[in-house]
Structure formats: C-alpha cells, structure tokens
Amino acid sequence: MPYRDLREFIARVEQEGELSRIKVEVDLAYEVGAICSRNYDLGGLEHSRALFFERPGGYTVPLVVNLLGTAKRYSMAIDTTPDRFTAEWARRTKNPIEPVLVKDAPCKENIHLGDEVDLLELPIPIWNEKDGGPYVTLPHHISKDPQTGQRNVGIYRSELHDRKTLGIWAATMRHINMHWRKAHARGESFPVAVAIGVDPTITLAANASFPHGTDELAMAGGLRGRPIEVVPCETIPLEVPATAEFVLEGEVRPNALRREGPFGEGAGYYGEIADLEFIEIKAITHRNNPIHQAAYLRRPPSEVLSLKRCWEAEAFSQCPLPGLLKLNFPEGGCVGAIAIASIKKTFDGQGKMMGMGILGTQAGRSVKIVIVVDEDIDPFNLTDVLWAMSTRFQPERDLEVIKDVTGWALDPSIPMHSQELGTNLVSKMIIDATKPVKEPFPEVISPKKDVMEKVIREWQKYGIT
Ligand SMILES: Cc1cc2nc3c(=O)[nH]c(=O)nc-3n(C[C@H](O)[C@H](O)[C@H](O)COP(=O)(O)O)c2cc1C
Ligand SMILES: [Mn+2]
C-alpha cells in the first residue's frame, strides 16, 4: 500500500527505528545545520538518522530532515529494498498514473490570503556559517509550460527574502527555467505553487531528472501505484497534492531580480551572491499541525546523494544501448558528476559507446567522468574499479576527452569565463577500462574450482575463526 502522505511515511520510518526525535529546543540559526552535519560525520550516510526536530527555534511546527537519507529509507519510499531499487524504478516509471482531482484536501485546512501571508509560519533554518539567509531546501515547485500546459515538478532551493517573497535558483537547463522564460518573453507573470512536506514518491520524482515534457506527478503516481490526489490552488491556475503539509502560491514576475546568496550548495561549496528570480507569495495554505520537511546540503555525504540515486536509476532506464548491467553514481561524485557502468561486452568499441550513451541521457547530463568496466567488476566496489583501471586501461588508447559541452552548474572548477557567461561549458571524459574482445588478454587468477568448493564446504575443519 502506498503512503497517504508525509505523515504515514514518517510513522513507518519511526517504526523501523530509523528516526530520532530532538525534543529540546534548537536554534534555527546554525544549530540545526550543525546537528545535521554531525549526523553524517558520526557514521556516514548509511547510518545517518532521520531527524525530527520537535521545537526548532521555539516553533510549534516541527522540522524533519534527512528522512530519505539512506538506501533503506528511499527504497522504503517506494516500498522496495535497496537491491531492487533500480529495477523497480525502471518497471514503475514505465507506467505513469495521472493525478486525480479531489474535493476534500487536508492542505486546505488553513488558508491565508493577502495580509495574512507570512512565510515565517515555517521554521526555516540558516544552515551553514556563510549562508546569506534562511533557505527552504526541499520545496517542490509545481508549474506549467505556458505554451503546452504540460505540468512540471522540480526541487529548487529557495532563499527566504521576507514574509511574502521566496527566492529561487533553477539552473538554465531546468524545466521550470525554460518555462518561465517562455512566459516572460510574452511579458507574462509565471504562476508557481510550492508544495512542502509531501508523499516521498513526489520528492523522488521531482528530483529524478525525467525528460522534458514529463509530468513528475504522474511519475510519482506510477512509483506509488496509485494516483496522486490534487486540488486546485486558491489564487493561481495550478493543482497541488491534496495531502501536502504546506502549499505556497505565487508568481515569478518578468524582469524582476533580487540579490540572494551565498548558499552552501550540494556540491560542498558556497555559491556566488547573484541577482536571481523570486516568487511573490499570494497565498499559503496548510494542514492542521503542519510539518516542515527539509534536506541538509554539504560536501558528500548528504541526503542529496540519496535523492540523486533517482538520477542513477533514471540514467540506467534512459540509456539507449544494450549491454548495460549496473550503474553507480558514487558518493564522492556528488552522485551526479561521476558514473561507473559495468557492461556485458560483446564487441570492441562497446566501452566508449556506452560512455557516450550515458553522457547522452537527460539524467546523465551532469556526469563529467564516466568509467566503463567489464561484468566481472562491481561498479559499486571502488577497489574493483581501480583494479580495472590499473590493469585494463591505457590512457592513450582508452581515454576520450570531449570539450565544450554543458556541465553541472555547481562544479566550481568550470573555467571562470564560462561561469561568468552562464554557459557552464566543461570537458568530459570517458575512461574505457574494459578488456578487448578480439585481442588476447590474460586470464584473471582464481583457485582451482573444485578445490575451492571443497574448502568452502569444509571450512570449519581449518579452525580459522
Ligand atoms: C535538496 C535538493 C535541492 C536542489 N536544489 C536545486 C536548485 O537550487 N537548483 C536547481 O537547478 N536544481 C536543484 N536540485 C535538482 C533538481 O531538483 C533536479 O535536477 C530536478 O530533476 C529538476 O527538475 P526539472 O528537470 O523538471 O527541472 C535540487 C535537488 C535536491 C534534491
Ligand atoms: Mn521536469
């Protein structure tokens, strides 16, 4: 059974013993962030706890962070296990389910319009030392392509400017950015609804980097096996998930920018102060006793890595070439910059072809380095991968560098002039660490097979404990 809302998912995470309740009051300025950071320092990502702050900054509105931080938990979000995640992702996203309109919606239990609009109803932390202000880090921006009416949902971190104004940074290639530019070119304002605290399948879908034209709410429906229930907004022509904890309704005006930043981004560095678009909030609706959900961003590991596992699963699904066995977007690569693919190699040249295939997917567009290995190498085992690179890879023959292609905007190593122009052009490389098919190559050593089987059978007798 899918979760009805964020609350049911939190209850499941707590039942599984994965959630810690912070009952003491904690400061929204820096203290929440420090606790979130130490949560990763203590045991790494996979042992990090879901954190439920009961009294953030004296608020009665609780704040939940790192809910989807581990493989176990983001797999639980689609009711599967980490080893089945990629296969289940591929299966379910083939069958999107359209959202359905409902009448009764918990997100309408409280409606604030006009002068009653106050973003300070939400406990919004200042996460890191040099952040320019408080940031909403897990907002689900819902909007429509003004030309086609096609819905889009994405997550774009948002600075709190004042009680009625929320910043937004969406990279140039993000769908919402493409859409607001279309509206602004016609001189029109661009309506946006921001849902906060939603069924976890919406969070996974919003972050997954589906091809342009995909309705992420329909994908969330596919992931949970039941449609997402939606209701119309009060002030703008958009529909929002009925069980969202908070919904902010607003507009991005043309030719209006506001200074924002810096912000400690998911790549692990502070971004630049910049003049960016913002959303003028016209209505806030929320459930009774609402919960604010956020993610803490920093150098790996952080929850962003888990969320970007969806990119890995999606790049796997989108890759058009045969022979791809496993795909790992490893932790240190911020999950988006490095890809390691294992293939069943049947012809020479296939390694580099697969590298291009992955770089060519929508979800693989942030990949800078792709490493391709044979099927006997586990791409999730970095010792295996480095062994393949040490013994099967010749840079002069097996390395391809592709220049002047669109990169990941948060990569601070992008040449300065390209950052300034906003073109974010980078070079990318394919490392083909697969063995040749036609040329002879030495065999990998292994003990004698039948003897090994006997050794395993009789292991006890050797007294090795
Ligand atoms: C916690 C979190 C914060 C994010 N913040 C941003 C952001 O500020 N700007 C951005 O362009 N992408 C951000 N992303 C990535 C996008 O949400 C993601 O690429 C998504 O697929 C974009 O949707 P779209 O392809 O429909 O534009 C963030 C992702 C997560 C998980
Ligand atoms: Mn999209």
CB distance 65 to 33 below 8 Å: no
Same domain, 285 and 335: no
In this structure, what DSSP letter does residue 429 have?
Answer: E
CA of 178 to the centre of ligand 1 (A): 14
Instruction: Tell me if 136 CB under 6 Å of ligand 1.
Output: no
Concerning whether 265 is annotated as a catalytic residue, the answer is yes
User: How far is residue 154's CA from residue 195's CA, in Å, rounded to a whole number?
Assistant: 10
- What tokens appear for 104 in the block? 């009764």
CB distance 274 to 167 below 8 Å: no
Indicate the pTM of the whole model: 0.96
Instruction: Tell me if 117 CB under 6 Å of ligand 1.
Output: no
Instruction: Tell me if 171 CB under 6 Å of ligand 1.
Output: yes
Residue 314 within a domain: no
Contact residues for 309 (Cβ-Cβ < 8 A; gap 6+): 71, 74, 85, 329, 335
In this structure, what DSSP letter does residue 426 have?
Answer: E
Same domain, 332 and 198: no
Closest ligand 1 atom to Cα of 409: 11
Domain limits for position 383: 319-432
Same domain, 290 and 323: no
In this structure, what DSSP letter does residue 126 have?
Answer: B
Residue spans of alpha helices (H) in 332-379: 350-359
CA of 49 to the centre of ligand 2 (A): 29
Residue 33 within a domain: yes
Residue 454 within a domain: no
The CA distances from residue 332 to 45, 227, 269, 339, in Å, are: 12, 35, 14, 11
Same domain, 154 and 239: yes
Instruction: Tell me if 201 CB under 6 Å of ligand 1.
Output: no
Instruction: Tell me if 207 CB under 6 Å of ligand 1.
Output: yes
CATH code, 230 = 2.30.110.10
User: How far is residue 74's CA from residue 46's CA, in Å, rounded to a whole number?
Assistant: 11
Same domain, 374 and 227: no
pLDDT for res 346:
98
Q: Which ligand is nearest to the CA of 66?
A: 1
CB distance 288 to 109 below 8 Å: yes
For the purposes of burial, counting CB atoms within 10 Å of the CB of 353, is it exposed (0-12), middle (13-18) or buried (19 or more)?
A: middle
Same domain, 227 and 326: no
pLDDT for res 90:
96
Residue 438 within a domain: no
CB distance 118 to 246 below 8 Å: no
Same domain, 289 and 339: no
In this structure, the residue with its CA closest to atom 23 of ligand 1 is 154
Helix (H, G, I), strand (E, B) or coil at 307: helix
Query: What is the separation of C-alpha 235 from the centre of its chain, rounded to a whole number of angstroms?
Result: 29
Looking at 159, 216, 265, 303, which residue is catalytic?
265
Same domain, 281 and 323: no
CATH code, 360 = 3.40.1670.10
Contact residues for 54 (Cβ-Cβ < 8 A; gap 6+): 21, 22, 23, 62
End-to-end CA distance of the chain: 44
Same domain, 345 and 265: no
Closest ligand 1 atom to Cα of 171: 11
Residue 362 within a domain: yes
User: How far is residue 372's CA from residue 338's CA, in Å, rounded to a whole number?
Assistant: 11
CA of 237 to the centre of ligand 1 (A): 23
User: How far is residue 368's CA from residue 374's CA, in Å, rounded to a whole number?
Assistant: 20
Same domain, 376 and 424: yes
Buried b (16+ CB within 10 A) or exposed e, 271-281: beeeebbbbbb
Domain count, the chain: 2
CA of 179 to the centre of ligand 2 (A): 10
Instruction: Tell me if 295 CB under 6 Å of ligand 1.
Output: yes
Residue 313 within a domain: no
Query: Rounded to 5 degrees, what are φ and ψ at 101?
Result: -80, 135
Same domain, 221 and 335: no
C-alpha angle 58-59-63 in degrees, rounded to nearest 5: 115
Residue 371 within a domain: yes
CA of 10 to the centre of ligand 2 (A): 26
Instruction: Tell me if 169 CB under 6 Å of ligand 1.
Output: yes
The CA distances from residue 397 to 332, 431, 433, in Å, are: 26, 10, 10
Residue 464 within a domain: no
Buried b (16+ CB within 10 A) or exposed e, 312-328: bbbbbbbbeeebbbbbb
Contact residues for 261 (Cβ-Cβ < 8 A; gap 6+): 132, 159, 270, 271, 272, 273, 274, 276
Same domain, 176 and 41: yes
Per-residue pLDDT of the chain (465 residues; tens, 9 = 90+): 799 999 999 999 999 999 999 999 999 999 999 999 999 999 999 999 999 999 999 999 999 999 999 999 999 999 999 999 999 999 999 999 999 999 999 999 999 999 999 999 999 999 999 999 999 999 999 999 999 999 999 999 999 999 999 999 999 889 999 999 999 999 999 999 999 999 999 999 999 999 999 999 999 999 999 999 999 999 999 999 999 999 999 999 999 999 999 999 999 999 999 999 999 999 999 999 999 999 999 999 999 988 889 999 999 999 999 999 999 999 999 878 999 999 999 999 999 999 999 999 999 999 999 999 999 999 999 999 999 999 999 999 999 999 999 999 999 999 999 998 989 999 999 999 999 999 999 999 999 999 999 999 999 999 998
